[in-house]
Amino acid sequence: MLPELAAWIQAALQETVDAPPIPVPDGPPFYEACWTACRRIKLGRTCTYGALAASAGNASAVRAAGSSMRANPQPLLTPCHRVLSTTGLGGFHGTLKRGPALALKAKLLSIEAKLCP
């Protein structure tokens, strides 16, 4: 699977693919739906937790969408850093506090913004 994954990463950086060649892992059905919806967020783009919940089939399950991103076991393949709060970055890696995790989320978004002006 490594050559396929390497080819996908290269294509993803050129924004020519939508989803990685590896299926989302097993999890609660709504989490799987959120992980699948998250994978459709294009490089350099973002969405809110509410929009993610709606894309996953339940617009009122905003907190559950956030929990699914916190539980995301494949952050490289399921780009949870692209999901934001309506008031800012939201959380990352299980924390809402300013610190290394949110700084990493901001940095990833910054790098993607430069790749996709």
Q: Which of 34, 38, 47, 80 is catalytic?
A: 80
Is 80 an annotated catalytic residue? yes
Q: How far apart are CA 13 and CA 11, in angstroms?
A: 5
Q: Which of 1, 8, 57 is nearest to 31 (CA)?
A: 57
Alpha carbon distance 90, 83 (integer Å) = 8
CA dist list (Å): 93 to 21, 69, 75, 98: 24, 8, 10, 12
User: Which residues are the active-site residues?
Assistant: 80
